[in-house]
Amino acid sequence: MSTPEDLERQFTLLTAAARHDVLRTRDALAPSPEDDSEDLPIDPEAKPLTRAETLELLALGEVIARKAGYGRQLGVRSARRAGASWSQIGAALGTTKQAAWEAHHRWIDEQGRQPSDGHWGWDGDEVAAARTLAGAPDDEAAE
């Protein structure tokens, strides 16, 4: 069975999204035993997904969400480095500055809780540096 942890190491965000799209499209086009309506836009030649493929589809969705979330927080760090305020970051994310700041701090906490083996976690110094860069929600810009 495919798990997000297994697939996360195998796929980049782009390749995970491409594989997800292939499976999702095939699933949408394949006739289902319950579908007897001729009005449905299906491909009678498309094969329904196997159980393993449906589970892979679910796991890929989780991988995409995780990778996109990680990329979002890296983008927040880049914005802070570039001098963006939390008000500007919140606006770019379609939320408030407080919500953006809180989400970023939860992400920093999560990085600190993970094993410190390079990409998969931060040590205490890295967490402290990330908190310093993040500043307070009322900071107008990064130092």
Query: Which pLDDT tens digit goes with each residue over 82-116?
Result: 999 999 999 999 999 999 999 999 989 988 887 64
Residue 143 has pLDDT above 60, yes or no: no
Count other Cβ atoms within 10 Å, centred on residue 130: 20
> Is 52 part of any domain?
yes
Q: Residues 6 or more apart from 143 whose CB is under 8 A from it?
A: 132, 133, 135
Q: What is the structure's pLDDT at 120?
A: 65
Number of domains in the chain: 2
Do residues 11 and 65 make contact, with C-beta atoms less than 8 angstroms apart?
A: no
> Is 73 part of any domain?
no
Q: Where are the extended beta strands (E) located within 50-119?
A: none
Do 42 and 15 have their domain in common?
yes
> Is 77 part of any domain?
no
Residue 141 has pLDDT above 70, yes or no: no
Q: How many CA atoms lie within 13 A of 132 on its CB side?
A: 7
Of 113, 97, 108, 99, residue with least CA distance to 73: 108
> Is 74 part of any domain?
no
Range of the domain at 22: 1-68
Do 53 and 95 have their domain in common?
no
Do 11 and 64 have their domain in common?
yes
